[in-house]
Amino acid sequence: MTSAPTPRSTQAAPGFTDATLAAADGGFDLAIEAAGATQALAAALAACRRGATIVQVGTLPAAVCLPLGDVMARELTLASSFRFGACFADAFALIAEGRVAAGRIVSAVLPLADLPRAMDLAAKKRDVVKVQVEP
Protein backbone atom coordinates (compact mmCIF):
# COMPACT_ATOMS: atom_id res chain seq x y z
CA MET A 1 0.00 0.00 0.00
CA THR A 2 1.25 3.49 -0.82
CA SER A 3 0.74 6.79 0.94
CA ALA A 4 -0.68 9.43 -1.35
CA PRO A 5 -0.17 13.18 -0.99
CA THR A 6 -3.19 14.99 -2.41
CA PRO A 7 -2.27 17.76 -4.87
CA ARG A 8 -3.36 21.32 -4.06
CA SER A 9 -4.82 20.39 -0.68
CA THR A 10 -3.43 19.35 2.67
CA GLN A 11 -4.53 16.91 5.29
CA ALA A 12 -2.64 18.84 7.99
CA ALA A 13 -5.18 21.41 9.17
CA PRO A 14 -8.25 23.07 7.67
CA GLY A 15 -7.35 26.37 6.03
CA PHE A 16 -3.61 25.67 6.05
CA THR A 17 -3.21 25.90 2.29
CA ASP A 18 -5.21 29.12 1.91
CA ALA A 19 -3.39 30.86 4.77
CA THR A 20 0.00 29.68 3.54
CA LEU A 21 -0.60 30.70 -0.06
CA ALA A 22 -1.91 34.08 1.06
CA ALA A 23 1.17 34.68 3.22
CA ALA A 24 3.43 33.66 0.32
CA ASP A 25 1.63 35.80 -2.26
CA GLY A 26 0.36 32.80 -4.22
CA GLY A 27 2.91 30.17 -3.31
CA PHE A 28 6.49 29.52 -2.31
CA ASP A 29 9.48 29.20 -4.62
CA LEU A 30 11.08 26.61 -2.33
CA ALA A 31 9.71 24.09 0.17
CA ILE A 32 11.76 21.73 2.33
CA GLU A 33 9.93 18.69 3.71
CA ALA A 34 11.92 17.50 6.71
CA ALA A 35 9.30 15.66 8.78
CA GLY A 36 9.09 12.52 6.68
CA ALA A 37 5.29 12.72 6.66
CA THR A 38 3.18 12.33 3.53
CA GLN A 39 0.90 15.08 4.87
CA ALA A 40 3.88 17.45 5.00
CA LEU A 41 4.82 16.54 1.43
CA ALA A 42 1.22 17.17 0.36
CA ALA A 43 1.39 20.57 2.08
CA ALA A 44 4.65 21.36 0.29
CA LEU A 45 3.13 20.42 -3.08
CA ALA A 46 0.06 22.55 -2.37
CA ALA A 47 2.04 25.54 -1.10
CA CYS A 48 4.45 25.85 -4.03
CA ARG A 49 3.93 28.10 -7.01
CA ARG A 50 4.59 27.03 -10.61
CA GLY A 51 8.31 26.38 -11.21
CA ALA A 52 9.12 25.92 -7.50
CA THR A 53 11.54 23.42 -6.00
CA ILE A 54 10.63 20.91 -3.30
CA VAL A 55 13.51 19.34 -1.37
CA GLN A 56 12.69 16.04 0.35
CA VAL A 57 14.85 15.57 3.45
CA GLY A 58 12.53 13.65 5.80
CA THR A 59 12.47 9.88 5.46
CA LEU A 60 9.13 8.95 3.90
CA PRO A 61 7.52 5.49 3.80
CA ALA A 62 9.06 3.14 1.21
CA ALA A 63 6.26 3.73 -1.32
CA VAL A 64 4.65 7.13 -1.77
CA CYS A 65 2.21 8.00 -4.54
CA LEU A 66 2.97 11.39 -6.07
CA PRO A 67 0.75 13.46 -8.39
CA LEU A 68 3.39 13.47 -11.12
CA GLY A 69 0.98 14.92 -13.68
CA ASP A 70 0.58 17.97 -11.44
CA VAL A 71 4.35 18.11 -10.80
CA MET A 72 4.98 18.08 -14.56
CA ALA A 73 2.20 20.53 -15.47
CA ARG A 74 3.36 23.02 -12.82
CA GLU A 75 7.04 22.45 -13.74
CA LEU A 76 8.01 21.65 -10.16
CA THR A 77 11.49 20.38 -9.37
CA LEU A 78 11.79 17.56 -6.85
CA ALA A 79 15.16 17.16 -5.17
CA SER A 80 16.28 15.04 -2.27
CA SER A 81 18.95 14.92 0.37
CA PHE A 82 19.75 12.14 2.78
CA ARG A 83 19.84 13.47 6.31
CA PHE A 84 22.23 12.21 8.93
CA GLY A 85 20.30 9.30 10.43
CA ALA A 86 23.35 7.85 12.19
CA CYS A 87 23.66 10.87 14.51
CA PHE A 88 20.31 10.41 16.30
CA ALA A 89 21.62 7.92 18.89
CA ASP A 90 24.42 10.33 19.84
CA ALA A 91 22.00 13.27 19.98
CA PHE A 92 19.54 11.40 22.21
CA ALA A 93 22.39 10.33 24.50
CA LEU A 94 23.58 13.94 24.85
CA ILE A 95 20.03 15.03 25.71
CA ALA A 96 19.59 12.19 28.21
CA GLU A 97 22.91 13.08 29.88
CA GLY A 98 21.79 16.69 30.22
CA ARG A 99 24.66 17.92 28.07
CA VAL A 100 22.22 19.39 25.51
CA ALA A 101 19.20 21.40 26.64
CA ALA A 102 16.84 20.32 23.85
CA GLY A 103 14.03 22.56 25.07
CA ARG A 104 16.14 25.61 24.34
CA ILE A 105 16.49 24.79 20.63
CA VAL A 106 13.07 26.24 19.77
CA SER A 107 13.63 29.94 20.23
CA ALA A 108 10.21 31.18 19.14
CA VAL A 109 6.75 29.75 18.46
CA LEU A 110 4.55 31.88 16.23
CA PRO A 111 1.13 31.40 14.61
CA LEU A 112 0.90 30.95 10.85
CA ALA A 113 -0.60 34.43 10.62
CA ASP A 114 2.85 35.74 11.70
CA LEU A 115 4.72 33.77 9.02
CA PRO A 116 6.55 36.82 7.61
CA ARG A 117 7.83 37.66 11.11
CA ALA A 118 8.83 34.02 11.71
CA MET A 119 10.77 33.92 8.44
CA ASP A 120 12.46 37.21 9.31
CA LEU A 121 13.50 35.90 12.74
CA ALA A 122 14.85 32.68 11.24
CA ALA A 123 16.74 34.49 8.47
CA LYS A 124 18.42 36.98 10.81
CA LYS A 125 19.70 34.15 13.05
CA ARG A 126 20.23 36.51 15.97
CA ASP A 127 19.62 34.69 19.25
CA VAL A 128 17.49 32.16 17.33
CA VAL A 129 18.13 28.48 16.79
CA LYS A 130 14.74 27.27 15.51
CA VAL A 131 11.50 29.13 14.84
CA GLN A 132 8.39 26.98 15.02
CA VAL A 133 5.28 27.99 13.06
CA GLU A 134 1.93 26.53 14.06
CA PRO A 135 -1.32 26.53 12.02
Q: Are 9 and 42 in contact (CB under 8 A)?
A: yes
Q: State residue 52's pLDDT score.
A: 95
Q: Which fold has domain 1-83?
A: Rossmann fold (3.40.50)
pLDDT in tens, 37-79: 888 888 888 888 999 999 998 888 888 888 999 999 999 999 9
Every domain of the chain and the residues it spans: 1-83, 87-135
Q: Given a cut of 50, is residue 17 above it in pLDDT?
A: yes
What's the order of all strands across the beta sheet hosting 48-56?
28-33, 48-56, 77-80
Alpha-carbon distance 129 to 24, whole Å?
23
